[in-house]
Structure formats: C-alpha cells, structure tokens
Structure 1
Amino acid sequence: MFELKRYVSRPCKTWATKSNYMKPFEKLIAGLGVLAITASVALTACSKSADTAEVSDEVSIYLTDDAGPFDNVFVDIRYVEVKVQEGYENKEHEGDKDDDDDDHFDDNDKDGDNDNKSKDQFGKWDTLSIRPGVYDILKLRNGVDTLFAKGRVKGRVRKIRLTLGRENSVVLAGTAYPVLLHPGINNYVYIRTLNRHHEMLAAKHIGFWVDFDISSSIIKDGSKFYLRPVIKPFCEKQFGKVQGKLVAADLHTFVKIYNAKDSGAAIPERSGEFKIRGLNEGTYKAKFVGVSASRLVDTTINDIKVVKGKETIIPTVTLRR
C-alpha cells in the first residue's frame, strides 16, 4: 500500500505596521469593520460549502483479460491512480442529456499533459491501494477478474492512470521473452472513464472493470516483443458478454468476437468453454482460429446479438482439421 502524502498549510506570520499602533477609538472602528467582513466571508463560505458538499465514494477497480495467443503474459504494475473532478458526483449512466455532456467534458484533457502531474484544471490525481508487482494477466480470462485497486475519493472519477514497471515478459511455446515498452511511449497508461463505464455496487460505492487487451497490446517485431497497452473500461450493467463452448481436435484455438466498432478475444479453457466480457451492444461475428501448428480449419459464425447487461450464448462449435 502506498501512503498518500498530504500538504498542510502553515499559518501566516503577523508583521508589525503602523496600524498596530492606532489610537484606541480608531482600533475599535477598524476592528468592527474587520469583524463585519469576516462574518460576510464566513457566511459566503458556508453557503458555498453547503451547495457543493461532497461525500466520499469508495472506488473498486477490477482487472480482467482479453486474451492473446501466449502461455503467460506478465505485466509489472506499480501504481494505480484516479483523476477526480471535485464538486461532482459519480452516478450511473441513464442515457440522458447530462451523460451526453459527460462524454465531452475532458476532450481537451490530453493524456500526455498529465505525465508527472498531481493536478490541473480538470482535476486532481488520487492514489489507490494496490498490491504492486507482476500480474499474470492471462489468468484473468474467460470471465475471471480480480479486485485490483481500491480507495476513497471525493468527486467524479474522470480517468484511471496505471504506472508500469520494467519486469514485463511473455511466455510463448514454453520460452520466456522480455517485453519492452514500445518506442515512443512512457510507463504511464491512461484510461478515460465515462458514466457508462461504472456501476453502483452499493450506496456510495462505485465499481469499474478494466479489460487488458493482450492481443492488441503485445507487438512482435523481429525477435523482440513490445508492450503498447490497450485497456478498455466497462461495467456489467452497461456492456454485454458472450459465452460458448468449443469442441476441437485440440484446443490450441483463439476466439475473436468483432464488428466494425468493437472486439474481444478469448482462449478457451481445457473444457472448451470461453467467455468474452465488456462488449458494446451490437451485432458481431465470431471467428475461431487454430494457433501454432494445430492445422484446424477456421470457422466463422455471423449475426451474434449482444445486449447490454445480458449474456449471449453461442451454440457449441466443432472444429476439424
């Protein structure tokens, strides 16, 4: 757990001036004036505080995986922070006008402008509690997730920021390879969040799921592997999921669900079962592809309907050589 340092303001010193030596009557008049101003400021401050009173929300972030064709993918995660817009509350997506405005609030808040910053005009960064270290992302596939980070914030969560370490690697066909950060990017990963990306788990407790898209995040260039993280936020209520089962001569198979705007992927379990979460509503295709030297014939299924908050079941698929 990381300790969030707080900065405490120091009292100002009072310096002697001519006003310290005024005559008693002048001091009385001046004192009454100061008292009136102080009372006015206090009333204004109390009114403002009542109008923008904030109650802290508990935030939970769950990590899951959109699988890729590897044995293991190890990602080193050191910090998780959330960018909070103070004075605004976290609420569930209702499809109203306020939500439309929310979609464009921070269009000018560029990710690169946040590097090494604790706050700006769009909000401040709060550090959440996590277990820093290396995560085997592929263990979090087919509907599995883990409580990844948690904490309390005052205000609306606008972005999530991950800070990556250097101990990143993949295992492919039993051989481990180091994974470097892709040229041109640093160790910060930003995830923009909207109202539809979280749900209320309980009163004043919001939950996000972040889907690490391994197949898009790991890039092979010659004999080297690079990491360019692609992470998608979602929640169960506002996104759909697809579940199915694969029967094949062997299970070295990669499943991809896709349309023109969205996609997801899975590697079936030994039982052949798979699940893909965090899909936007729409009509998708499912493609089943044999990896390595499996020599399985690729199969595509069309017209898969995905509905938010629902699970779509695909009929059992059989692949043959």
Structure 2
Amino acid sequence: MAVLVTGGAGYIGSHMVWNLVEAGEQVVVLDNLSTGFDWAVAGAARLVCGDVGDADLLDELLKGGIDAVIHFAGSVIVPESVADPLKYYRNNTASTRALIEACVMNGVRRFIFSSTAAVYGDPEVVPVGEDAPVHPLSPYGSSKLMSEIMLADTAAAHDFAFTALRYFNVAGADPGGRTGQSTANATHLIKVACEAALGKRSHLSVFGTDYDTPDGTGVRDYIHVADLVEAHRLALAHLRDGGQSRILNCGYGEGYSVRQVIESARRVSGCDFKVVEEPRRLGDAPQVVARADAVRRELGWQPRYDDLDTIIAHALAWEDRLSRRNPAR
C-alpha cells in the first residue's frame, strides 16, 4: 500500500515525501506544480501532475492501492486570501471536499490534513490550546477551518479517521540540503530575511510595530519543517494503529517577535540588511504561540530542531544552495 501526498512538490510536501521514502513507504505525489517543483520530489516517489480537485483523477489514483492521504495542496498566503477570498475557498475548501469524497468512495480511511493556527485568529489566551475558540481573521484561516469541519463530519458518518495538524509558523529547510522553501516572491518572514541577508532583496519589511507585544512587532511560534513532517509521520502511524481522529497543534510553545527573527538572521548570516517599517496587514494577529503538549503526549513527538538560530541557519544554507542552482532567482 502507498501514501498519497497532495502538494508533495511544494515546500512542506517535498520534505514529507523525503521523510516517508526514508521510512520505507511507497509514495505517490499529486501536484499541479503551480508553486511546487518536480526536482524537489524524492526520486523514489511517483509524481503525478494534476489538480487535487479533479474527481476523475482522484478516483483513478485512490483505487490503485492507496491506504492513506496526507493533504498539503492549497493556497497559503494570508494577505492574498483577503484580496482574493474565492481563490482560497476554491483551492482550499472545495478541493479538499472533492478529495475527502474520493477517499470515502474508494475506501481510503486515513487522512492527515495540513491545517493552520490561523483558525484561532487573535487568541484571547496565549499559548493557545486546541480547545480555544476559533475565530479566523482571514479567508485563509476560514477555508482551513471549513475543511476541519468537513473532516469531522465525515469521520462521524463513515469508516474514516483523520488527524488535522494546526501548524504555527513553518520555517527552515531539510538539514541535508535536499529541499527547502523555493517559491519565488515568498512572504514567509524567515525566507525573506534570508533573501535580504544574501542580497536577493533590497530590504525586509516589518508590517506593524505598534502591537501590544514586548517590542511592538508580531510574535509567532516558528517550527522547523523537518520536525513538522515528523509529526505527520507519527500521525500516520497513529491512524494505522487504529487511533481516533484528532486535531493537534504543531509548534514549540515559544514565541519570537519579528525583531528577534531579524536579529537572529543578522547574527547567523553575519550580514546586515535594510529594514523598512510599514503599516499592519489585514488578517495578521498580534501574537500566536502554541500550547503544544498534546502532540508530544499523543504522538510521542520529540522535536530535534527547536532553536531559532538553527532554523535560520538551515533556511540560509538552502537559500544559498538555491542561488547556485538557479542564479537568476
């Protein structure tokens, strides 16, 4: 039996594919390559180019010996979701519905979903636990929350179990240098800081300096991508062992401000870069940090890279490697 990884040519998905291949899994990747790269996919995996909302293609793939789905495919930029909400409800919600339906119709009973801390919005209590109220501030967060609801309703009605992992801020790159965040014009803070440190950008913008946080800038819980995908592998094992459906936070339980990330990037790179202060962006919360005890307790997850400087060092090394792979980028 094989695992279907949607969005497996993208940033997080490609790390997941390498993790599964190393664990001896057979892997099928479904990706339309709109933001992913075929060269990022581990050679031992089978890559199918197509859309996760294509019902006929899904039916063909899922009847071919797939026992679990790990679903990463979707759109992930908060400000873009505010400007173009219907894109997010199509790519994230409608396509996820099509995928869930295809799983039910083809007897695929295990589903791991890439969710987000954006479902919490601006949490009243920080660190925020899985039992906190959900009040998304953006269509991105709403689109993911709708998918969580669909999964829960499906699990109640069918022989179907899921794990939804609510990511906090994913960063870093494969410690072995095989893949990393490669999308042009990315908006992730650590990616942007690395590009600025290497001279790929003229400056780094800080969006909002008047938040009610220690230094006025937004605070986030940054999780290394390698630790995150290991949580997915453990979730897969949990479901295969008959585990119940769960929603779990994936973070370290420690927050860093934008200014702290900038300081770390300068320290790790040994390079200074220009910082421009700009107004707040719609959809951004002041502070989002995980209460992350449940994922450790229930899945036995033990992070290996929970250090900001380490996360940035791996991201910086990948950014440098990416420059040498394609000097024009």
Structures share fold, TM-score greater than 0.5: no
TM-score range, shorter chain: under 0.3
Could you say which structure has the higher strand fraction?
1
| TM-score, scaled relative to structure 1 | 0.24
| TM-score, scaled relative to structure 2 | 0.24
Larger Rg: 1
Could you say which structure has the higher helix fraction?
2
